[in-house]
Amino acid sequence: MAASGQREYVAIAKPVMLENNQMSLAFERRLLEGSCMSRSRVSCTLITGFLGSGKTTLVRHILRNRGDLRIAVLVNEYSEVDIDGVIVHNAHSHASLGLPSAELASGCACCTKQNDMKQAVKDLMVGGHDFDHLIIETSGVADPGPLALMLEELNVQLHLIVTVVDAENLLNVLDNPIARRQLSFAEIVLINKCDLASLGTISDVEDKVEAEIGNVRVVRCRFAQVPLPLVVDVIEAVSPAPSSMSNDDAGVMSHEKVITQTTLRRAADNQSKTDADSDGTRKVPGSHSDKDGKEDAKAERRRKLANANRDIHIHEELGFTSLVFKSDEPILLSAFQDFVRNGVLKTHGLLRAKGVLWFQEDRNNRYVFQYSGKKRAETVCDSVWESPPSVKVVFIGRDSDALKALRSSLSQAVSPPSRDDAADVGVGKAKQFAAMVAADQRFQLLSSGGALGADNIEGTQGGSELLHKLAPSLVRFGMVGYPLKSITEAVLNTDLMCTVNASGALFLTAATPPHCGHFLQLAFGATSESDEAAQDPSVCWKIISDIASRVLIRAHRDVCPCRCDYTRSA
């Protein structure tokens, strides 16, 4: 505790040893002081939020930065196949750590899967638990109310309900009763995806949140990167002093906003007020001596909310439906690019899609496909296959016919009807495109099977383990970073991919994960007439090159010019 009597908290984000030590030291200290939650009671954070808002991203962030904390995870997936479970576990293999985790797919934990969720929590508690904290991620269409009641019934200490919202898309989804309900339960709101929204939109979202639920803690972030103590029942820090805390380091884009004097629309808001003391001291809920009173008030508020509008959650009435596409054969990347541009991005009523992909052009690596929010689609190479490769994609939306049409057009990507000379045409186009990339100094050509015959790019920054034999119709490339200005390749390539894909004219996939530079790839080999036109190498290059200019302007905008630049301009 600081000399002033104010408590200090560590922003835990970068996975460095120092932070891990701080976490475990602080946790040990709490255990010694006896101020920790009783070991007989499981402490839990419930993460809710609408489809695609960033819940799994938050879980991954917590697992990546948990230090020595032992965190158990329960993931509930609405659709039949649990993509999140696959992604989360791969991110931080629980099994190898001996930590409990479970996936509950094919239904919502607030209704059809409630008994399964109850059983899963009970199983975790059998014989005393050997983890420090439990994270439950609800499905994107779950009502958190019944879950909160169920946890209370099981004597789980529900530390916090975190609602994650998509800054870019919240105002569009709030007409959905489930999205509203998820927001109403929030005890902290993470306004995520702030990198995709303008400051004006973020501010509108904050106003909307305030108007909807009044007094609540709101934190802006991107990729759900918030200091762990905000969302997990840990730890008063031993050091450092607040001045040394860097929100940037933690990925928080601005300081949390504590709304102190707003119209309190619900009787239960007394609890929330205690979260923000009048002296402005930040507190981590549930970690201090005033905990019991706060916990009671929280529980009371949750009960009231859960019992109001109990019948709101009937998925069929709300019109949600999900479909799964599965294949044990790899799909053609060039056909998948076409499928995203002409299928996914143009399907009205598709709310969410996600899956794991196996491409014919790159058989060794597993790709993760995501579609969410305001028509944002991305496919990123995640890891090498550690299990038998396959394709699994989940579509969630309101129009089952549209979803069926999508599924059938994806099935054609496994063996698309193609011209006899499609392979040669693809290789020829790849060569032309690769030559244009190679001639531009802003870019680096990593590999092109067709153009260079260099199908092994070991030694590149992409990391050899992710880059194996390439199909000759595939071109891998990326923008050159500016290390002296701290502009990394990953930042440039991510922005380039995001902007190109949002334009709908092309669909780029990332051949390496963000920490390996997020290098991009484009496959050639047209399968339809529309695709044929879109795959003209000169057209593709013009789109990418124009957007690259905008990406560079954006990246350099916030960089202070160095002295050489001043000299030159003087």
Ligand X SMILES: Nc1nc2c(ncn2[C@@H]2O[C@H](COP(=O)(O)OP(=O)(O)OP(=O)(O)O)[C@@H](O)[C@H]2O)c(=O)[nH]1
Residues lying near ligand X in the complex (CB under 6 A): 49, 51-57, 84, 140, 192-193, 195-196, 222-224, 352, 354, 370, 372, 378
Closest distance to ligand X from the beta carbon of 147 (Å) = 15
The single-letter DSSP state of residue 466 is G
Measure the CA angle with vertex 393, ends 390 and 394; round to 5°: 145
Give the nearer residue to ligand X in terms of CB position, either 89 or 222: 222
CB 178 within 8 A of CB 318: yes
Token reading at 54: 């960033």
Question: How far apart are the C-alpha atoms of 282 and 217, rounded to whole Å?
Answer: 10
Question: How far apart are the C-alpha atoms of 454 and 447, rounded to whole Å?
Answer: 6
CB 134 within 8 A of CB 154: no
Give the nearer residue to ligand X in terms of CB position, either 151 or 377: 377
Phi, psi of 230 (to 5 degrees): -70, -30
Token reading at 57: 């991203």
- CA nearest 302: which of 268, 262, 274? 268
Closest distance to ligand X from the beta carbon of 200 (Å) = 18
Q: Residue 492: CB partners within 8 Å, gap ≥ 6?
A: 478, 479, 480, 481, 548, 551, 552, 555
Give the nearer residue to ligand X in terms of CB position, either 448 or 499: 499
End-to-end Cα distance, the chain:
51
Closest distance to ligand X from the beta carbon of 419 (Å) = 34
CB 395 within 8 A of CB 343: no
Query: Given the DSSP bridges, would you call strands 43-48 and 157-166 parallel, antiparallel or unpaired?
Result: parallel
Amino acid at 224: A
Closest distance to ligand X from the beta carbon of 131 (Å) = 21
Give the nearer residue to ligand X in terms of CB position, either 137 or 236: 137
Neighbours of 151 (CB within 10 A): 24
Give the nearer residue to ligand X in terms of CB position, either 192 or 521: 192
Closest distance to ligand X from the beta carbon of 521 (Å) = 17
Closest distance to ligand X from the beta carbon of 352 (Å) = 5
Which helix or strand (DSSP H or E) is residue 366 part of?
A: strand 362-372
Give the nearer residue to ligand X in terms of CB position, either 101 or 157: 101
Buried b vs exposed e over 239-260: b needs ≥16 C-beta within 10 Å? eeeeeebebeebbbbeebbbbe
Give the nearer residue to ligand X in terms of CB position, either 179 or 534: 179
Closest distance to ligand X from the beta carbon of 390 (Å) = 20
Closest distance to ligand X from the beta carbon of 410 (Å) = 18
Closest distance to ligand X from the beta carbon of 364 (Å) = 22
Give the nearer residue to ligand X in terms of CB position, either 176 or 271: 176
Give the nearer residue to ligand X in terms of CB position, either 377 or 474: 377
- CA nearest 49: which of 157, 209, 207? 209
Closest distance to ligand X from the beta carbon of 211 (Å) = 23
Closest distance to ligand X from the beta carbon of 328 (Å) = 24
Give the nearer residue to ligand X in terms of CB position, either 56 or 527: 56
Closest distance to ligand X from the beta carbon of 360 (Å) = 23
Closest distance to ligand X from the beta carbon of 313 (Å) = 15
Closest distance to ligand X from the beta carbon of 57 (Å) = 3
Give the nearer residue to ligand X in terms of CB position, either 94 or 376: 376
Token reading at 375: 């028509």
Question: How far apart are the C-alpha atoms of 254 and 248, rounded to whole Å?
Answer: 8
DSSP helix/strand/coil, 350: strand
Give the nearer residue to ligand X in terms of CB position, either 355 or 416: 355
Phi, psi of 190 (to 5 degrees): -95, 115
Token reading at 12: 């835990």
DSSP helix/strand/coil, 183: helix
Q: Residue 129: CB partners within 8 Å, gap ≥ 6?
A: 39, 42, 72, 100
Q: Residue 237: CB partners within 8 Å, gap ≥ 6?
A: 8, 9, 10, 22, 26, 229
Give the nearer residue to ligand X in terms of CB position, either 69 or 173: 173
- CA nearest 280: which of 255, 249, 298, 306? 255
Measure the CA angle with vertex 202, ends 199 and 206; round to 5°: 135
- CA nearest 285: which of 44, 503, 41? 44
Give the nearer residue to ligand X in terms of CB position, either 80 or 300: 80
Which residue's Cβ lies closest to ligand X?
Answer: 140
